[in-house]
Amino acid sequence: NANPHLKTLDESDALMIASYYGNYEVVELLISKGVDYSYQREDVELLFKKQSDSNVQKKNGVIAFMVACQNGHTQIVELLVKKEVDPNVQTKDGVTALMLACLTGHTQTVELLLKKEADPNVQMKRGFTALMIASFKGHYEVVKLLLEWKANPNVKSSEGHTASSLAKTIETKTLLNDYLEI
């Protein structure tokens, strides 16, 4: 009879912690017991109604789904997407779950998100895309995957950067430049 909605000092709850550590069994148990899987930190909720397709977002938008994406917990990501969490949900700054998976180089999670219709061309407020982030972090396989899924290498950030100009490795820069020539 423990309360799964109790929070730690940093405002994390059981679902957030289980998602962070990739504990699929605990996430599945919590959801099966009716825990709101669209809960967000800082007493903010991503309102999810079983009869509604819409996700309504407030404040920073950090949810268990995004934490699982950032940490590469593909099994949890898949479970939450099956529960109708929008793969294109964004934080107030426009950061998507796909961007977080690209940031940390989790190729399997990136591929799953793309298969679940995550948009690789979404730009955050400063204009950066998932492709720019993966390029900057040097995640060659993620960059290659994004390009295969039609990520646009020509997009510019608000500061004029492109994925190619941000590339950290020659291999990534060459791959991006090859796509620019097509």
User: Is residue 155 in a domain?
Assistant: no
Report the pLDDT value the prediction gives residue 180, as an integer from 0 to 100: 81
Q: How far apart are CA 74 and CA 114, in angstroms?
A: 12
Task: Please name the residue that has the structure tokens 């917990």.
Answer: 73
User: Is residue 5 in a domain?
Assistant: yes
Handedness of CA 38, 43, 49, 52 (dihedral sign): negative
Tell me how many domains the chain contains. 1
Supply the CATH number for residue 81's domain.
1.25.40.20
User: Is residue 150 in a domain?
Assistant: no
Low-confidence ranges of the chain (pLDDT < 70): 1-12, 16, 19-24, 27, 31, 36-62, 182
Residue 151 has a CB neighbour count (10 Å cut-off) of 26
User: Is residue 41 in a domain?
Assistant: yes
Report the pLDDT value the prediction gives residue 81, as an integer from 0 to 100: 85
Report the pLDDT value the prediction gives residue 66, as an integer from 0 to 100: 87
Report the pLDDT value the prediction gives residue 154, as an integer from 0 to 100: 94
Q: How far apart are CA 43 and CA 59, in angstroms?
A: 10
Report the pLDDT value the prediction gives residue 51, as an integer from 0 to 100: 27
User: Is residue 123 in a domain?
Assistant: no
Alpha carbon 150 to its chain centroid, in Å, reads 17
What domain range is 56 assigned to?
1-89
Q: How far apart are CA 176 and CA 41, in angstroms?
A: 37
User: Is residue 112 in a domain?
Assistant: no
User: Is residue 43 in a domain?
Assistant: yes
Query: Is residue 70 within 8 Å of 100, Cβ to Cβ?
Result: yes
Q: How far apart are CA 128 and CA 4, in angstroms?
A: 36
Structure tokens at 116: 């679940």
Report the pLDDT value the prediction gives residue 155, as an integer from 0 to 100: 96
pLDDT tens digit string along 55-77? 433 333 357 788 889 989 898 88
Q: Which residues contact 177 (CB under 8 A, 6 or more apart)?
A: 164
